[in-house]
């Protein structure tokens, strides 16, 4: 029987791990680390570094295995179908890798960036695997990039008694500012969709790249005043590292 643990690890800072996450990492037989290919190997390296630090005192540390993560097929026009096909392919790779290293079953752990519940598909992929093999699953929460963002800027997430909407750059760009909410958290935005807002002088932005990591970058101010700085800083950081993770909080000032 396979026992799968999806372990939220925060945003790349080993100090973000909860005591529950540390305990779970040490209890595994196998830890699988995805390799996303050239330009993103820093992410695998950060997971390896977290394991090295956390497991240093474990008498029988788990085996750590990297595997190549499949890529989405750009030829599939429908976005949802493209993602579903990709998740199916990842589940197949998981199954093959587990069978190769734990043919009789055992405890397998995945280090999930941030928290497994928030804009992450690890649980969806795990459900595909559970439909194929006998498996038990445990989910361990982690610090999210939203928490790292608000902590970095020293700002509350919400106004008093007010709602917050968490959404994506794609939806902000395609549908504009949602009705009934003055505070937005924007994730998964590769196109800097805040550029599409019509009145940037009426919006406050708190932007962070690599939130919670050693190379964290923070910029805040009226969108009209800091937009150009964010765009230039983001482009430079991506060129330096080969990848970027960023997130931002938008608040209407009127």
Select from 116, 120, 49 the least CA-distant residue to 87.
120
- 10-27 pLDDT, tens digit per residue, is 988 888 999 999 999 999
pLDDT of residue 185: 98
Over the stretch 107-119, which tens digit does the pLDDT of each residue have?
Answer: 999 999 999 999 9
Backbone angles phi, psi at 32, to 5 degrees: -105, 135
Give the phi and the psi of residue 113 in degrees, each rounded to 5. -60, 135
Q: What is the arrangement of strands in the sheet containing 217-222, beginning at the earlier edge strand?
A: 165-168, 183-187, 246-252, 203-209, 217-222
Is pTM beyond 0.85? Reply is yes
Specify burial of residue 247 (Cβ count, 10 A radius: 0-12, 13-18, 19+). Answer: buried
Q: In the Cβ-directed half-sphere of 139, how many Cα atoms lie within 13 Å?
A: 14
Residue-by-residue DSSP string for 51-78: HHHHTTT-SSPPEEEEEEPP---TT---
With beta carbons less than 8 A apart as the criterion, state whether 178 and 167 touch. Answer: yes
Other Cβ atoms less than 10 A from the Cβ of 60: the count is: 7
Per-residue pLDDT reduced to its tens digit, 130-167: 988 889 999 999 999 999 999 999 999 999 999 999 99
| pLDDT tens digits, one per residue of 169-216 | 999 999 999 999 999 999 999 999 999 998 889 999 999 999 998 899
**CA nearest to 150, candidates 117, 185, 116:** 185
- The span from the CA of 218 to the CA of 211, in Å, is 8
Question: Mind listing the domains of the chain with CATH numbers?
Answer: 2-140 (3.40.1010.10), 145-252 (3.30.950.10)
Question: Any idea what DSSP says for residue 176?
Answer: -
pLDDT score recorded for residue 184: 98
């Amino acid at each position: 029987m396979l026992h799968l643990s999806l372990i939220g690890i925060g945003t790349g800072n080993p100090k973000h791990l909860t005591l529950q996450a540390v305990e779970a990492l040490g209890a595994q037989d196998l830890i699988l680390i995805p390799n996303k290919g050239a330009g993103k190997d820093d992410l695998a390296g950060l997971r390896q570094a977290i394991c090295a630090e956390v497991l240093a005192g474990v008498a029988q540390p788990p085996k750590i295995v990297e595997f190549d993560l499949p890529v989405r097929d750009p030829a599939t026009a429908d976005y949802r179908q493209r993602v579903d096909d990709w998740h199916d392919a990842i589940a197949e790779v998981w199954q093959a890798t587990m069978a190769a290293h734990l043919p009789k079953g055992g405890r397998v752990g995945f280090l999930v960036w941030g928290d497994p519940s928030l804009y992450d598909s690890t649980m969806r992929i795990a459900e595909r695997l559970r439909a194929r093999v006998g498996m038990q699953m445990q989910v361990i929460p982690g610090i999210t990039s939203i928490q790292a963002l608000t902590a970095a800027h020293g700002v509350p997430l919400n106004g008093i008694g007010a709602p917050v909407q968490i959404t994506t750059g794609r939806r902000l760009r395609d549908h504009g500012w949602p009705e009934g909410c003055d505070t937005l958290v924007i994730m998964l935005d590769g196109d800097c969709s805040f550029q599409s807002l019509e009145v940037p002088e009426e919006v406050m932005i708190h932007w962070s790249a690599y939130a919670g990591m050693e190379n964290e970058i923070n910029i805040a101010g009226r969108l009209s005043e800091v937009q150009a700085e964010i765009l230039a800083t983001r482009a430079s950081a991506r060129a330096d590292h080969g990848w970027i993770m960023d997130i931002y909080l938008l608040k209407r000032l009127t």
